[in-house]
Amino acid sequence: MSPNMRALGIDRLSIAERILLVEDIWDSIAASPEEVPLTDAQRAELDRRLAAYEADPQAGSSWEDVEAELWGRPSP
Distance CA 7, CA 5 (A): 5
Q: Provide the pLDDT for residue 11.
A: 93
Give the pLDDT of residue 49: 94
Residues 6 or more apart whose CB falls under 8 angstroms from that of 60 comprise: 53
Per-domain boundaries in the chain? 3-33, 38-71
The whole-model pTM stands at 0.53
Give the torsion sign (CA, 32, 33, 39, 43). negative
What pLDDT tens digit does each residue of the chain (76 aa) get? 788 989 999 999 999 999 999 999 999 999 998 999 999 999 999 999 999 999 999 998 889 999 999 998 776 6
pLDDT of residue 2: 87
